[in-house]
Structure formats: structure tokens, C-alpha cells
Amino acid sequence: MAWVNAIIQGILTGGLYALFACGLSLMFGVMKVVNLAHGDLAVIGAYVALGVITVTHIPALWSFVIVVPLMAVLGYVLQRTLIQAALDRGVLITLLVTFGLSVVIESGLLQFINADSHSLGVGESIVTGSFSIGSQIQIPYLLLLIFAVAVVVLLGLQYFLSLSSYGRMIRAVADDQEAAQLSGIDYRHVFGIAAAIAFGTVALAGIAYGMYSQFSPTTGTDTILLFAFAAVVIGGLGSLWGTLLGGIVLGVAQQIGAQINQADQVLAGYLVFLLVLAVRPQGLTARRAQS
């Protein structure tokens, strides 16, 4: 029974990981940028939320109302300035710049805040506690909420991309940047919009993680970036729902690993990642192997 509990926990954690990953996927899908600072930006979101909560005393659950738009704006600005400048200079420079950004953010957080862990907590909201099924299965409300949020975000993204005119433009630019220009589209602005969306989801992910667990300056890379990436690879590059599947597989693998040996939780997840990489590198949802 403890196993069933573990698997359910793993599935729900997959929602959190999918939330981590969708921003990374989006930026890669649209602009071919792998943002190595992705996880650190989530952590910034969490710290900003912490600051907002401390100052305004709003419940942790509502901090996203302020933080998400803030981070979205930051995303647009960062994309139009730093990242676009790097993109103009090539793939290598882009990777180096985002890596540099990651290091600067982490070191900056370490320097100006401290290395301690913080948690956003959930306050006295409805999501404290869990509900039980039988005697052995306990499902935390918070985790359920996060999973629901992840599904809503993915659904929202999917509808936005397929139905709205901005979504159509984003897909067009992702398909063929030059042809989009010939149709009167300023692709740099579209990139900015995509980055804003990505940063918004990343902020949400950071807040979610901050409520669920503890975060510190290094959480961005140790946990968020690497888990996001593992989820994307396992699920299949280029598929939003594949990312959810990948997150679930990763979460379940970790929980099973924890059942065997508590200390092996994270390693178990990575072993499954390596397995997928070895056996089916295109991911679980992709139809055929990519060369």
C-alpha cells in the first residue's frame, strides 16, 4: 500500500515538474533557445513571492497575482535585450550567455540574501493537510492543487497557441522566421511575447515549488532545471502534453526509488532519464526516431 501511495505522489509531483518544464520547452520550440538560467528564474520568482508576502501579508496562494505578471514583463525585457543580442550572435553565444546569467543569478542570490533555505508555506489556506483514502494513502491538497494548475496551464497554452491570433503568429515564427517577417511580423516582438509567457509559467513553477518544498539559491539548477530537462527528454521534445507524461514518469521513478532507499530518490529519477536516453532518445511520445 505504501507503494500505491508513493506512485500517486509521483504522479502528482509530475504536474509540478511539467510546470517546471513548459517554459523551457516553449522557449526552445519558438526561438531555439535553451535557457540555462531557467531554473534560477523560477527561484527568483519564489524569492520575489517571499518578499511580496512578507511586505503585503497576502496569503501565499495569491502571491502569483503580483509575481507572475512581474516576471512576464521581466521575460519580455530580457528577451528583447540580452537574449536577442545573444541569438543574433549564434547558438554558442546564446548558451554561454544564459549559462553566465545562471551563474550570476545564483551567486548574486548567495551574496545578497544567503544560502539558507526558505519556504513560502501555505499559511492558513485550504490547502494545508491532505485527504486520505483508506489507511495508507494520503494525498496532500497542495500537490493536488499544483497538478490541477499544471493541467490548466498546459490546456491554456495549447488553446492559446492553436486558437488565438497571437498563438498562430508564434507558431508561424517558430516554423519560419523569415517567412513571418515577409508577412509583416516583427519576430523579435513575438519572441518577446513567448519569453513573457515562459517566464510567467516559470514564476508560477517557482511559487508552486516554494510552497511545496524549500528553496535556496542553488535550487534553480540542482532541482528545477535538471528535473525540467529530464521531464522534457523523457516525454519527448516538442510536445506539451509529452512534458506532463515525462514529469509523471520522473516523479513516479523518484518515489519508487525513495521507497527502496530514501537517499536514492533523485538518483532513481536520473537513472530512468538515462535509460530513456539510451533506449528511446526521442522520448516516449514522439512517433519516430529523430536523427
Partner 1 sequence: MSVATDTPARSEENFRVTRSRRNVAWTGAGALIVVVVLALFPYIVYSGTTSLMVQAFIVITLASMWNLLAGYAGLVSVGQQAFVGLGAYFVLLLAQHSLSPFGGLPLAAIGCGVAAVPMWWLISRLRSGYFAIATWVLATAIMLFIERFPSIGGGTGMSLPGLSGYDPTLLIAYTYWIGLAVTVLSLVTVYVMLRGRIGLVLTAIRDDEVAARSSGARVGLARMLVYVVAAVGCGAAGALLAISQLIVQPGAVFTVQWTAIMAFAVIIGGLGTIEGPIIGAIVYIILQRTLQSYDAWYLIVLGLVAIGVALFARRGLWGLIDDHLNIRLFPVGYWLWTPESSSRPGPGRRGPGRSGIRARRGGRHS
Partner 2 sequence: MSERTDNGGTPLLEVRDLIVHHGQLRALDRVSLRVFPGEVYAIIGANGAGKSTLLRTIAGLHQPTDGAILYDGKDMTKVRPERRATRGIVMVPEGRRLFGSLTVEENLKVGAAYARKGPWTIERVYELFAWMKDRRTQRTAQLSGGEQQSVAIGRALVANPRVLLLDELSLGLAPVIVQRIYAMLPQILSTGLTVLLVEQDVSQALRVASHIQCLLEGHTTLEGRPSEVTAEQVEAAYFGLSRAAAEGSEPLWHGSTPSSRAS
Contact footprint for partner 2 (CB under 8 A): 165, 168-169, 171-172, 174-176, 178-187
Site for partner 1 in 130-149 (CB under 8 A): none
Nearer to partner 2, 118 or 171 (CB): 171
Q: 225 with 43: CB under 8 angstroms?
A: no
* Alpha-carbon span 191 to 139, nearest angstrom: 39
What's the closest the beta carbon of residue 142 comes to partner 1, in angstroms? 26
| Binding status of residue 101 toward partner 1 by CB under 8 A | yes
Binds partner 1 (CB under 8 A): choice among 3, 89, 148, 179? 89
Shortest Cβ 252–partner 1 spacing (Å) = 18
DSSP assignment of 136-188 equals: TEEEEHHHHHHHHHHHHHHHHHHHHHHHSHHHHHHHHHHH-HHHHHHTT--HH
Q: CA 129 → CA 31, 57, 83, 116, distances in Å?
A: 41, 21, 42, 25
Least separation in angstroms between residue 28's CB and partner 1 is 7
Q: Are 286 and 239 in contact (CB under 8 A)?
A: yes
Binding site for partner 1 (CB under 8 A): 28, 32-34, 36, 82, 85-86, 89-97, 99-101, 103-104, 107-108, 110-111, 221-222, 225-226, 229-230, 232-233, 237, 263-264, 266-267, 270-271, 273-274, 277-278, 281
